């Protein structure tokens, strides 16, 4: 295959990845809004949308494997293709966490929220912002921007710890609140995991750009998990 044709296929693969990223970013917003408003219609729609996201991820994976198998790419090309493949997997898993928010909405039914949602929407906004920056880093192959994105994950971890402490206070004061507290804690945990997934995306961008494998924010992840 001529070099320019090969590069076009890699660029097309990256465009598909960025389209998947945009769709995944929207799932975070939709899942959080469904939780805030107890919108079961939106929740059901988000659960169904997961099928399309999975299809896009497997399409990217299949095309990436085909390029590797048939073109025997050079080291830098191989890093880029592998990074696209692994980022697609992370995006699909982020969408799974958003789907989990929708499933919490369905599970809660008409049960009232334990408390007004303040920090959970803040976590979601941070996740959306981080993912948007990470996708910019992917598009530009920008390792410095990717590193900056990874450094923001600590903000999400701190919010998660704050939510955990607050919800445990409710439970200790009234054991009847356990189920409602756990629903909100599961929601916050899914958002915390999204932050971790975005960090993984940042690490893949750094690898594609520099050839260095780095594991960032390990201490924060261990503390939360």
Per-residue confidence (pLDDT) for residue 70, from 0 to 100: 86
Which two three-digit tokens encode residue 49? Answer: 């949308």
In the chain, the largest separation of any two C-alpha atoms, in whole Å, equals 69
- Distance, in Å, from the CA atom of 111 to the CA atom of 102, rounded to the nearest integer, reads 15
- Distance, in Å, from the CA atom of 82 to the CA atom of 68, rounded to the nearest integer, reads 9
175 DSSP 8-state letter: G
Whether 220 has a pLDDT exceeding 60, the answer reads no
Contacts for 29 with CB less than 8 Å, ≥ 6 apart: 124, 128
Q: What is the CATH number of the domain that holds 122?
A: 1.20.58.220
| Confidence class for position 197, pLDDT limits 50, 70, 90 | very high
Summarised one tens digit per residue, pLDDT across range 68-111 is: 888 888 888 999 999 999 999 999 999 999 999 999 999 998 88
Summarised one tens digit per residue, pLDDT across range 11-32 is: 999 999 999 999 999 999 999 9
Pick the closest to residue 135 from 94, 187, 164, 176 (CA basis). 94
Which residues constitute the domain of residue 161? 3-224
Q: State the total domains in the chain.
A: 1
- Distance, in Å, from the CA atom of 187 to the CA atom of 102, rounded to the nearest integer, reads 9
Per-residue confidence (pLDDT) for residue 71, from 0 to 100: 82
Summarised one tens digit per residue, pLDDT across range 136-187 is: 999 999 999 999 999 999 999 999 999 999 999 999 999 998 999 999 999 9
């Amino acid at each position: 295959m001529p070099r320019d044709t090969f590069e076009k296929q890699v660029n097309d693969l990256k465009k598909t990845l960025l389209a998947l990223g945009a769709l995944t970013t929207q799932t975070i917003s939709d899942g959080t809004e469904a939780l805030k408003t107890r919108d079961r219609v939106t929740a059901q729609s988000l659960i169904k949308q997961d099928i399309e996201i999975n299809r896009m991820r497997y399409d990217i994976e299949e095309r990436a494997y085909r390029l590797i198998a048939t073109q025997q790419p050079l080291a830098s090309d191989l890093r880029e293709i592998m990074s696209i493949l692994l980022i697609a997997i992370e995006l699909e898993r982020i969408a799974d966490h958003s789907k989990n928010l929708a499933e919490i909405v369905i599970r809660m039914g008409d049960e009232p929220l334990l408390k007004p949602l303040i920090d959970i929407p803040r976590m979601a906004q941070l996740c959306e912002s981080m993912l948007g920056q990470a996708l910019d880093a992917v598009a530009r192959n920008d390792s410095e921007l990717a590193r900056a994105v990874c450094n923001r994950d600590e903000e999400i971890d701190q919010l998660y710890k704050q939510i955990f402490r607050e919800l445990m206070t409710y439970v200790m004061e009234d054991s009847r609140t356990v189920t409602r507290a756990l629903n909100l804690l599961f929601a916050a945990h899914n958002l915390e995991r999204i932050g971790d997934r975005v960090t993984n995306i940042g690490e893949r961008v750094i690898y594609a750009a520099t050839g260095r494998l780095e594991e960032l924010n390990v201490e924060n992840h261990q503390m939360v998990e």
